[in-house]
Amino acid sequence: MDQNSLLDGPPAITPDAPPMPSLSSQASLRPRRRSLSPTARRTTEASQDAARLELGRWLQAQGYRYTTVTPETHRRVNARPMLQQAQDLRDVFGWNRPFAESLLPREIVELLRRAGALSHHGERLRSRLRYSTLDGLLFAHSGYPTLETDAVFFGPDTYRFAALIRRALAAPGLRPPGRIVDVGCGSGAGGIIAASLLPDEVRLTLSDINPRALRHAATNAALAGVANAECVESDVLRSIEGPVDLVLANPPYLADPAGRQYRDGGDRHGCELSLRILAESLARLVPGGRLVLYTGAPQVGGEDLFWRAAQPLLRQARARFEYTELDPDVFGEELDNPEYHAVERIAAVGLIAQLPEELT
């Protein structure tokens, strides 16, 4: 695979639970649930956000640790007969197993209820919110299974993305960026990890088209103690104002017929959004600015379809780059879907691109 060494220049850092869904009317005599007014919705969301943050801080004080696995691994482990009921905090807030109300302090059950993240399973309860740890930091995200179209995803891709960011920021001779934008931030993990590795004065913008993701990202920035963070609803960089030194992105890269925001990368094989982020970043970065992009690359007939489309964009921008296959085979179960009938494998890849110091 073609690679150009990227040794110097500015760092390319990668740095709610939602309201309960209204029930469909199944009985003609059941009263309709009125939708909340904008003011009432904001009040509800603020209460949920405060509860989610308080839950996270309580878990931090308990020394909570949990590493998120793939959805398929999660399903297989939770299906084991001896693991049908939660026994500890990891079971409740990591594995999302049903639990007896007596397992948790009464005030913690109430926080889950206030966060809009408590469901009932017969006599047992279940958290619809998960907390995972990465590099010693705690991140709130959607509970398992992540079926909602606006679910906030966190998983093995997040851990690989963080490793790519650490590598990009460790390159010798890099000057700290003044402004980082985490595009499609989801839980905010990429930008928060990057900010934790850089001087405190670095400005972090967490952007996403998903309001639910932005609320989780704000919670997670607060849990990490990142003070100079702002959350901006934006379609890629469209609503981002001002200069940008570093763009981080871990976008959806699958072809998802259900159209879930955290999975669907657009077009036939899921590459469209990643290529758009690449093009818009190269057009918006300051001279010497960097992009750190983690994505998936479908392989057809031995050819990397993402890389084939990305190279002309990089050449046109005269960018220096490092392109690496980080994992040769991810989401193998997707190959059973019609969208992937010609795809041999999906590789997890990392692209670090840097613009020239002087643009012409």
Q: Report yes or no: 274 and 295 within 8 Å, Cβ to Cβ.
A: yes
Task: Locate the DSSP E strands across the chain.
Answer: 118-121, 124-127, 129-134, 137-142, 179-183, 203-208, 229-233, 244-249, 285-300, 303-304, 320-327, 345-354
How would residue 41 be classed by pLDDT, with cut points 50, 70 and 90? confident
Residue 52 has pLDDT above 90, yes or no: yes
User: Would you say residue 261 has pLDDT above 50?
Assistant: yes
Pairing assessment for the beta strands 129-134 and 118-121 based on DSSP bridges: unpaired
The structure tokens 């990465």 sit at 134
pLDDT band at 23 (very low <50, low <70, confident <90, very high): very low
Give the model's pLDDT for residue 34. 58
Distance of alpha carbon 105 from alpha carbon 109, whole angstroms: 7
Residue 107's contacts (CB-CB under 8 Å, 6 or more residues apart) are: none
pLDDT at 359: 62
Of 133, 131, 164, residue with least CA distance to 249: 164
% of the chain beyond a pLDDT of 90: 79
The mean per-residue pLDDT over the stretch 81-106 comes to 98
Phi/psi of residue 131, nearest 5 degrees = -130, 130
Mean pLDDT of 229-256: 96
Q: Which residue has the tokens 């594995």?
A: 95
Radius of gyration, alpha carbons of the chain: 21
Three-state DSSP at 127 gives strand
Q: Could you say which DSSP state residue 152 is in?
A: -
Helix, coil or strand: residue 353: strand
Tell me the per-residue pLDDT of 151-166, one tens digit each, with 9 for 90 and over: 999 999 999 999 999 9
In 10 A of CB 164, how many CB atoms? 26
Token pair listed for 139: 């991140």
| pLDDT at position 332 over 60 | yes
pLDDT-derived band of residue 15, with 50, 70 and 90 as boundaries?
very low
pLDDT tier, 36 (very low <50, low <70, confident <90, very high otherwise): confident
Are the C-beta atoms of residues 186 and 208 closer than 8 Å to each other? yes
Q: Comparing 338 with 1, which gets the higher pLDDT?
A: 338
The per-residue pLDDT for range 276-290, each reduced to its tens digit, is 999 999 999 999 999
- What φ, ψ does residue 23 adopt, rounded to 5°? -75, 135
Q: Which helix (H) or strand (E) holds 322?
A: strand 320-327
The confidence band for 140, taking pLDDT boundaries of 50, 70 and 90, is: very high
Burial class (CB in 10 A: 0-12, 13-18, 19+), 90: middle
Predicted pLDDT of residue 347: 97
Comparing 9 with 151, which gets the higher pLDDT?
151
**CA 177/CA 59 separation, integer angstroms:** 32
Q: Distance (Å, rounded) from C-alpha 96 to C-alpha 39?
A: 32
Q: Does the CA dihedral 53-260-233-288 come out positive or negative?
A: positive
Residue pair 204/229 in contact (Cβ under 8 Å)? The answer is yes
Averaged over 28-45, what is the pLDDT? Answer: 69
The domain ranges of the chain are 41-142, 156-354
Question: What whole-number distance in Å separates Cα of residue 332 and Cα of residue 349?
Answer: 15
Q: What is the mean pLDDT of the chain?
A: 89
Cβ neighbours of residue 232 closer than 8 Å, sequence gap 6 or more = 205, 206, 207, 214, 239, 240
Per-residue pLDDT averaged across 239-252, rounded? 96
User: Is 9 a residue whose pLDDT tops 50?
Assistant: no
Decide: pTM greater than 0.95. no
In angstroms, the CA 222 to CA 152 distance is: 17
* Mean pLDDT score, 305-311: 97
pLDDT-derived band at 258 (thresholds 50, 70, 90) equals: confident
Mean pLDDT value across residues 112-120: 97
Q: Residue 4: which pLDDT band, with cuts at 50, 70 and 90?
A: very low
What CATH class is the domain 156-354?
alpha beta
Query: And the tokens for 210?
Result: 């998903």
| Contact criterion met (CB below 8 Å) for 162 and 90 | no
Residue 331 contacts residue 296 (beta carbons within 8 Å): yes
* pLDDT at residue 2 greater than cutoff 90: no
The count of other CB atoms within 10 Å of the CB of residue 353 is 26
Q: Give the residue-averaged pLDDT of 81-97.
A: 97
Count of residues in the chain: 360
- Alpha carbons within 13 angstroms on the beta-carbon side of residue 247 total 36
Contacts of 286 (CB under 8 A, 6+ apart): 10, 243, 244, 245, 355
CA gap 76, 195 in Å, rounded:
35
